[in-house]
Structure 1
Amino acid sequence: MAMQERIREDAAGAILFDAAVSPQVDNDWFEPDAWRQRGALRQAGGGRGGVSIIDTPAGECVLRHYRRGGRVAILMGDRYLWTGAERTRAFAEFRLLGVIASLGLPGPQPVACRYRRTGLFYTADLITRRIADVQTLAECLAAGRLDAEMAELVGALVARFHRAGIWHADLNAHNVLVAAEDLFLIDFDRGRQRQPAEAWQQANLQRLRRSLVKLGAAGQGVAAFEEALWKPLIYRYERTLRA
């Protein structure tokens, strides 16, 4: 189904949504308390991600409030410098997810996003369809499920995105979802589509490698990790990239 972009503007900001998914979206969609009052808040968000699970007319969705991380969060919290609507984090990620969907790549389906502007700053939110019955790659690793076969599937997944020029700004084991029949990439904040090039593709892979090692994948030693998991991942990645 082709995306049907619609924008609703008011004095404080704007909502961008896919009318093919939901013909009407208002500001209440982005307020966890509004869903709680309807008995439709399945999981309340907190922490840096600010992720809530909500039961909407468009189905079960993920509501994410954009928050900064690291030292900047102490000063800025959830505020970002205003440089125009099209450059807001929410609008940029929503549109990238639309590109990903149009390419047939396994990512979250965008439903709606918004920004609210106050002076020189804005806050933002994004709603996507929830991908059900999945575990993160990090959870699979912790449960002892990450083996050479799964590593190959991860390599193929990353290669499909790289082949299409999709750069993920934070490729780590928490942003790879594993389902019974497929794998998905999520959280494309600050991501973009760019000209395929080995330099950024390899940097992306090394970011994933560091994530796996940090989470304990090299617990039996780096050499064992390379042989059991990383080599199968890279083997399938390179085959898929050249396909």
Structure 2
Amino acid sequence: MAMQERIREGAAGAILFDAAVSPQVEDDWFEPEAWRERGALRQQSGGRGGVAILDTPAGECVLRHYRRGGMVAKLMGDRYLWSGAEHTRSFAEFRLLGLIASLGLPSAQPVACRYVRAGLFYTADLMTRRIEHAQTLAECLASGQMDGEMAELVGALVARFHRAGIWHADLNAHNVLVTDDELYLIDFDRGRQRDSADSWQQANLARLRRSLVKLGAAAQGEAAFEEQLWKPLIYRYERTLRA
């Protein structure tokens, strides 16, 4: 289904949504407490993402509040410098997800997003459809489910996005979702489509490798990790990239 992009502007910000998914989106859709009062807040977690799982008229959705990480978070928290609506983190990621969907690549379906402006700064939120019955690749690794076959599937997934010029700003094992039928790449904050180049593609892969090692994939030794997981991943990646 093609996206039907709509914008609803207000006094302090704007909401961008897909009318094909929901014909109307209200301000309180981005407030977890409003869903709690309706008995529709299924789960809420803290941390940098501020993620909530909701039962909405558009189906089960994930609501993420944008929040900075690292040292700058102590100064800025969840605020970003205003440079125009089109440059907000939420609008940019929403539209990139729409592009990804149009390319037939597996990711979260965008439902709605917003920004709220306050002087020189803004805050932002993004709502996507929840991918059901999914585990992160990190969870699969922790439970011993990641093997050479799954590593090959991950390599093919990354190659499909790279072949389309889709750059993920934070390619790690937490942003790969695994279901019985499909693998998905999620969380495209700061991502973009760019010209194909071996430099950024290899940097993306190196980031994924560091994530796997950090999460214990090389616990049995670097050589075992290389043979059992990384070589199968790279083999399928290169094969898919050149298909």
Q: In structure 1, give the amino acid aligned to 2:232.
A: P
**Structure 2 gap segments, 5+ residues each:** none
Provide the residue aligned with 1:169 in structure 2: 169
| 1:80-159 mapped onto 2 (5 Å cutoff) | 80-159=80-159
Q: How far apart in 1 are the matches of 2:44 and 2:228? A: 38
Match of 2:184? 184
CA drift at 1:94? 0.1
What's the counterpart of residue 28 of structure 1? 28
Q: Distance in 2 between matches of 1:44 and 1:209?
A: 29
TM-score normalised by the chain length of structure 1: 0.99
Instruction: Give a deviation string over 1:62-90, Cα, whole Å, max 9, x none.
Output: 00000001111100000000000000000
CA deviation after TM superposition for structure 1 residue 45, in Å: 3.3
Correspondence for 2:209: 209
SS in 1 for 2:126: strand
Deviation at 1:223, TM superposition (A): 1.0
Q: Give the corresponding residue for 1:242.
A: 242
- How many aligned positions are there? 243
- Once the two structures are superposed, residues 180-224 of structure 1 have per-residue CA deviations (whole angstroms, 9 ceiling, x without a partner) of 010000000000000111000000000000000000000011111
CA distance, structure 2, for counterparts of residue 80 and residue 203 of structure 1: 26
Q: What residue identity is the alignment partner of 2:22?
A: S
Q: Which amino acid aligns with 1:200?
A: W
Amino acid at match of 1:189: D
Alignment-mate amino acid for residue 73 of structure 1: A
Whole-angstrom distance in 1 between the partners of 2:196 and 2:10: 38
Q: Structure 1 residue 46: deviation in Å?
A: 1.2
Percent identical pairs in the alignment equals 84
Matched with 1:71 is 71
- The TM-score with structure 2 as length reference comes to 0.99
Q: Which runs of 4+ in 1 moved over 2 A?
A: none
